[in-house]
Each structure stands twice: as structure tokens, then as C-alpha cells.
Structure 1
Amino acid sequence: MRILFLGYWGLYDGLTTSTIFPHLRLLQAREDVDAIRLVTIERDTQAPTPLQFTPDFEANKISFQPLCSRPSSNVLLNKIEDFTRFPAELIKQVAEFKPDFLLARGAPAGALAYLVWQKTKLPFYVESFEPHADYMLESGVWRPYDPRYLFQRHWEKRQKQLARGLMPVAENYRRQLVAEGVPADRIATVPCSVDAHSFTFDLGARQRVRQRLGFGAGDIVGIYVGKFGGIYYDEEAFAVFRAAADHFGPSFRLILLTPDSQAEIQTKLQASGLTLGQTFITKAPHAEVPNYLSAADFAFATIKPAPCRLFCSAIKIGEYWANGLPVLLPPGIGDDSMIAEQEGGGAVFDLAKPASLKVALEQLTTLLAPADYRQRIKQLAVKHRSVARAREAYDALLRPS
């Protein structure tokens, strides 16, 4: 098989590293896969070519060809230009590479795959399939009349109808798709996979990072990885951080790994009453994230609840669990909120019910008490986020034309 693998992020974006690369490793290991072309969307003027794969990628099996977005200060015009120009560029790649099918990562990439199908009838699959348009609407990022919402919603409908296979990230969404009439044999649930070995707790890293940051061995450290705003809480997240500081007292410390402006984050921390001495903010490469997780005791996943959030699978939660960290999170976040409640993977709070945050923090304290809590929680990542789920889905769905 020859596979054109289409991502929707840049080559060096953390989402590409954490969600696409593990699946490329699975695909290159298959004897029936002859060649893979990875296509990413680069938002910078200089595309990162040639592709610098890590040593476990086979250069003779995997090639790389980016789609380069033209810089624009207008996000809407930029996105429209992407979806009018990129299909034609992908069609040229199809003619050159001659894939058996296109495998798209995420519903926005799936939209491009569908637009290519319109012209070429090249079969396509969509993994990490989620109702992206409704996510953005319910999070307040898009409006009902926004062309991005209207087009993306239509394209998702066509993906459900025409994709040879869909790989939603949550069982909740698999059931919803079946209820909508998508044949069950065209669906396989694949939660966002995590390499549990790469994210394993490291005592040495814990000691080194804490010493470097000036955190004591007995401090209670919470960590958050990701952005603020959009589909994530913004000011509300800092209120949650403050509640944790109040709960744990003077020994509480906070690590924030975020691409957001440090100056803006510091302003929000100070407004919430957290001091600079209690916190550390940086933008860390994905390879360094496990070290920071090892330095922490628990993690935050401040994702905005919304009806469609039941259908998501946050990669950060899988990474937290792989490191043995219990997670403080809102209700209705994919399958994970239920797993946290039923299997001890964390504690759930609902900002619509202010008293629930205090209860969740008390539950979190209980989870942190056993000496072996990290080993137990790591098993949740092994059970629910193993890359083996993707291997099984590929075995069941992928086939040449």
C-alpha cells in the first residue's frame, strides 16, 4: 500500500509530534505498506524541508512534502485561501505519488481529503475524527454565521457519508455516529495514543527539575500543559489554580507549559493572587514535557465543557496519566471524565457548581496519598491510550483500492 498521510499542523507542532509520529511508526512497520508521504501544513514562510525524522523512521519508506500557507494577518482569509488552494496542490501530489488512499488526521484535514475525493475519487480515511465545527461553535471561537463553521460542518457531513473509514477518538462519538447511520463496520474508536514508555515517571528528572526551579522536595506541584482561551478555560483556569493554591496551602507550586505570552500569563497569575515565586512558566519542546510532568504531583486539564466535548480525547490527559498524574478536569470531557471518576484517574469539578471544586480537590488529595499512586494511574494510559488501539483499527479498516 502507498499512503498519503495528511496532517493539519506544522511539522514541528507538538500535535504532529505527539499524535501523528506514533502512527507513522505503526504504518512503516507494516509489511503491506510500501511507501508513505507525510503532508503537513506550514504556517511560516520557510517550510521545514528536508524533513528531519528521528532515527526510528525509515527514510526509504517515508517522504515529506509540505503545503505552505501564505502569510496573512486575516485568519478568516487565510483559512479560506487554504481550502481553495490546497486541494489543487494535493491533487498534484496524488498524481505524482500515486497513493492507494489518503489518511487524514482530524476533521479539518478530512475536509481537504473530501475535496480531493471530489475531483479524483481517491478513497480516504479520517482518524481522530471529531465534530470540529461544533467544538469551535460551542467554545465561542466561531459564530453560527461564520463561513468556517458553515463549510466545516458541511464537510464533516460529507466525511461521514463518503470516508472509507472513520476513527473517532471517543466511544461516546462512535455510538453517536452509529446512531446517525454511519455503518458500524466503517468505524473504529482510537483515543489519542500516548507512548507510555516515553512519558514514564523519572525520579531523577523530578529531582533535577525541582532543584532548578527552586521547588522543595515536599512541595505539592500542579502542572498545566497547553493554551488558554478558545476551547480551553482562560480566566476561569486561573481561578482553578488559585483554588488549588488555597487548598494545598503554602507548599503549592504551579508549572505552566504554554506557548502563550509569558507576560500575559504572569498578569493573569498576579490577578488571581498567585505569586511569581509559586509559579514557573515556559514553552517547552515536546521532548522535555515528561521531565516537567515527573516534577509534578498532579495535573490540570481545564477544557471548557460543551455538549460536543463528550466526543473528544485530549492528548494531554493521556500524557498526564502515562506519567502517573491524577487529573483535575471538568465533566463531560470525552470518555476521560468518566474514567477519572470510575477508575481513579483524577477528580471532576463543575464550575457551574462552585462547591464541586472544593470536593474535587479533597478527592485529589486522597488520590495522592498512596505511595504507589503513580504506578496505578499509569495503567490507565496503558489501558485506554495505548497505540495498540490504532494498530487494531488499521488492521480492521485499511485496505488498498
Structure 2
Amino acid sequence: MRILFLSYWGLHDGLTTSTVFPHLRLLHQRPDVEAIRLITIERGADAQAELPFDPGFPAPKISFEPLRSRPSRNVLLNKIEDFTRFPQEVVRQVREFRPDFILARGAPAGALAYLVWQKTRLPFYVESFEPHADYMLESGVWRRYDPRYLFQRHWEKRQKQLAAGLMPVAENYRRQLISEGVPAGRIATVPCSVDAEAFAFDEAARSRVRRQLGFAPDSVVGIYVGKFGSIYYDEEAFAVFRAAADHFGPAFRLIILTPDPLPAVQRKLAAVGLTGQAFVTKAAHTEVPSYLSAADFAFATIKPAPCRLFCSAIKIGEYWASGLPVLLPPGVGDDSDIAEAEAGGAVFDLSQPASLPASLLRLEAMLRQPGLRAQVQQLALRHRSLAQAQTAYETLLPAS
């Protein structure tokens, strides 16, 4: 079996490290897989740079060929140019590599796979399939008559019709796809998987990081990992951090790991009076587990929207794998319901003023429970295991 694996993210993107590489490893370990060609889309500085491929495991079956976006001051024109040029480049790689099918990671990558299918009729599968166009619309990033929205929505419709298999990240979306007429036999739910062992709680790392940051052993530490804005709360997130600080008092400390410009984040912390209680840095993915071990709970400040029911945030799986209960809004994939039903965190709704203080009270009660971290880690094992991806591959991918 020869697989062309198409990622919409760049080689150095955190989502590639956290979501693409583990799945490549699963496929690489299969004896019926002869070769894998990884294609990423590189933008910005990486589009012009040398990109040595190192997935973190021996990968003799995997070759790497990036698609390099041309620099442009106009984002819209740049994306249009990408979707006219990249399909031709992928078709060239198809002819050279001779894959049996394309496995696309995410609906934007699935759009490219569909455009290649138009020219080659090469079967394609889409994992991490989500309603990306509606995400961007409901988050205010795209407008209803933005060409990016119109094209992506059309391409998602064609993926539903023509993909040999779809792997949505939430049971909520699997049910929605079936209601839209997609045959159930072509769908397998695969939430964003995490390596529970790599993210497991480490007492030594907890002590070391707290000591390095000057946090006392009895500090109550919240952590946030990720960006601000777009599909995530921005100023509202800092208001949530402030509410947590007010609730837990002087013992509260905050860790923020973000790719965003650090001075901008520091200014937002200063605006809510949290400069002295917070530590902000950009951390490599391999460093994240140690910071999670240093924390007591986590924030997942994802903007509520109707289509958010169909998402699966990798950060929530990583939080749970470290044993951290999560403070999150309602309607975040399957996770908000899991958090409430299985004591994986507390749900708050900013449209209801009393909701956040109540959720902080529930969270505080959880933190007093003995054995909480081990209990929460079981959620990652039950709901975010790589075994779900392995089962989906066995169910949907063609037999060799």
C-alpha cells in the first residue's frame, strides 16, 4: 500500500507535530504499508527555507515533499493562487509517487484532494473532517460572500459526496453527516488523538517547573496552551483568567504557552492586572507536558458557535492526558458533555453572568478530590486514544 498523506499545515506547525506525526507513525508501523509521501503546505519563512524532515521516530518508509506558497501581501489572492497551483503540483507528485490513495488531514486538505481527484480519479480519504467553512464564518474570520468561504463550502460538499471515507473528530458530526445522507459505512469517528504516555503527569517535572517559575508548592496554577482570537476567545479569555485569579485569590498563578507575539499577550495580561501572577512563553511541543504537570487545571477558551459541536480540540485531549480538569464553554465538540458527565472539568457560558463563578466553584471542589489526576487521565485513554485512529484505518482504508 502506497499512501500520499496531505497536510494543510506546515512541517513546523504545532498541529503537525501533535496530530499528523502520530498518525504517520501508526501507518508506518503497518506491515501492509510500503511507502508514505508526506506533503505539507509551507507559508511565510518556511516557504523559502530548507526543511529537514524529522518526525521523531525512525521513518524509512516516509518521504517528504512540501508545497511552498508564494509570498503575497494579499491573503485572499495568495490562497486563490494556492488552490490553482497546488493541485497541479500534487498531480505531478501522484504521477511520480504512484500512491494507491490520498489521505488528507482536515477539510482544507480534503479540498485539495478533491481537486486532484477531478484530474486523476485517485481515491481519497479525509481525516479530521470538520465543517471548516462554517467554523471560519461563525468565528467572524470569513464573511458569507468571501470567495474562500464559498469555495471551501462547495469543496466540503463534494468531499461528503465523493470521499472514499470520512473521519470526523466528533460523534456529533458523524450523526450530522449521516442525517445529510452520507452512508454510515463511509464514516468513522476519530477524535484528535493524544499520546497519553507522553503527556502523563510527572511529579518531578511539576516540582522542577514550579521551582523555575518561582511558584510555591501550594499555588493554584491554571494553564492555557494555544492562540488567542479567530476561533478562540481573545479579550474574553483574559477576563476568564482574571475571574479565576479573583476566585482562587493570592495563591493563583497562570501559565500561558502561545505562538502569539509575547509582548501583545503581556499587554493583555497587564490590562486585567495579571502581570505579576502569570508566566508567558512560546514552548516547543515536547516541552508542553512538563508545564502541564506543573498546573492544577486548564483553560480551553474556545468561542461557542453552532458548528463548534463538530470539533475536537487537541489541547483538551492533552490536558486530560496530564490529568487536568478543564474550564471550557458549552458546545465544544463532544468534550463539553464529557467534561460534565465524567468529571473532566467545568463548563461556563459567558452569555450567563452567573455561569463562570459557578463553574469555578465546581472546579475548586474537583481540585480537592483525592486521585483526581488519575481519574481525569482515564478520559484521555477512553476518548482520545490513538487506538481509535488505528481502528478507523482498519475499517475504512482498502485492504492490501
Normalising by the residue count of structure 2, what TM-score does the alignment of the two structures yield?
Answer: 0.98
Partners of 1:45 and 1:155 in 2: CA distance? 25
Partners of 2:295 and 2:50 in 1: CA distance? 33
Q: Which residue does 1:295 correspond to in 2?
A: 294
Q: Which residue does 1:156 correspond to in 2?
A: 156
Q: Which residue does 2:107 correspond to in 1?
A: 107
Contact 1:47 1:68 in 2 (8 A): no
Moved more, 115-124 or 72-81: 72-81
- Deviations 1:2-43, CA, capped at 9 Å, x for gaps: 000000111111100000011011101111111000111111
Partners of 2:154 and 2:399 in 1: CA distance? 27
How big is the shift at 1:127? 0.1
Q: Give ranges in structure 2 of 5+ residues lacking alignment.
A: none
Matches within 5 A, 1:46-195: 46-54=48-56, 56-59=57-60, 61-195=61-195
Q: Which residue does 2:330 correspond to in 1?
A: 331
Q: Which residue does 2:285 correspond to in 1?
A: 286
Matches within 5 A, 1:1-400: 1-43=1-43, 44-54=46-56, 56-59=57-60, 61-274=61-274, 276-399=275-398
Contact 2:167 2:187 in 1 (8 A): yes
- Deviations 1:331-368, CA, capped at 9 Å, x for gaps: 00000000000000000000000100000000000111
- SS of the residue corresponding to residue 125 of structure 1 reads strand
How big is the shift at 1:45? 3.4
* One-letter amino acid matched to 1:90: V
- SS of the residue corresponding to residue 145 of structure 2 reads coil
* One-letter amino acid matched to 2:58: F
User: Which runs of structure 1 show a deviation greater than 3 angstroms over 4 or more consecutive aligned residues?
Assistant: 47-50
Partners of 2:78 and 2:299 in 1: CA distance? 32
- Deviations 1:350-394, CA, capped at 9 Å, x for gaps: 000010000000000011112310000000000000000000000
Contact 1:330 1:349 in 2 (8 A): yes
Partners of 1:338 and 1:272 in 2: CA distance? 30
Normalising by the residue count of structure 1, what TM-score does the alignment of the two structures yield?
Answer: 0.98
Alignment coverage as a number of residue pairs:
398
- SS of the residue corresponding to residue 9 of structure 1 reads coil
Partners of 2:339 and 2:137 in 1: CA distance? 26
Contact 1:4 1:37 in 2 (8 A): yes
Superposition RMSD on alpha carbons, in Å? 0.9
* One-letter amino acid matched to 1:186: R
How big is the shift at 1:47? 4.0
How big is the shift at 1:72? 1.6
How big is the shift at 1:400? 6.0
* One-letter amino acid matched to 2:80: I
* One-letter amino acid matched to 1:53: P
* One-letter amino acid matched to 1:336: D
Partners of 2:99 and 2:271 in 1: CA distance? 53
Q: Give ranges in structure 1 of 5+ residues lacking alignment.
A: none
Partners of 2:278 and 2:87 in 1: CA distance? 45
Partners of 2:369 and 2:58 in 1: CA distance? 40
1:6/1:47 Cα in 2 relative to 1: closer, same or farther (>3 Å)?
A: farther
* % same residue: 75
How big is the shift at 1:52? 2.2
* One-letter amino acid matched to 1:161: Q
Moved more, 45-54 or 189-198: 45-54
- SS of the residue corresponding to residue 126 of structure 1 reads strand
- SS of the residue corresponding to residue 205 of structure 2 reads helix
* One-letter amino acid matched to 1:374: R
How big is the shift at 1:78? 1.4
Partners of 1:100 and 1:74 in 2: CA distance? 36
Contact 1:209 1:291 in 2 (8 A): yes
How big is the shift at 1:46? 2.6
How big is the shift at 1:48? 3.9
Contact 2:21 2:55 in 1 (8 A): no
Partners of 1:164 and 1:283 in 2: CA distance? 39
How big is the shift at 1:85? 0.6
1:48/1:386 Cα in 2 relative to 1: closer, same or farther (>3 Å)?
A: farther
- Deviations 1:44-72, CA, capped at 9 Å, x for gaps: 23344331232x2322x111111011112
- SS of the residue corresponding to residue 155 of structure 1 reads helix
How big is the shift at 1:269? 0.9
* One-letter amino acid matched to 1:99: P
Contact 1:47 1:66 in 2 (8 A): no
How big is the shift at 1:271? 1.0
* One-letter amino acid matched to 2:224: Y
Moved more, 122-131 or 361-370: 361-370
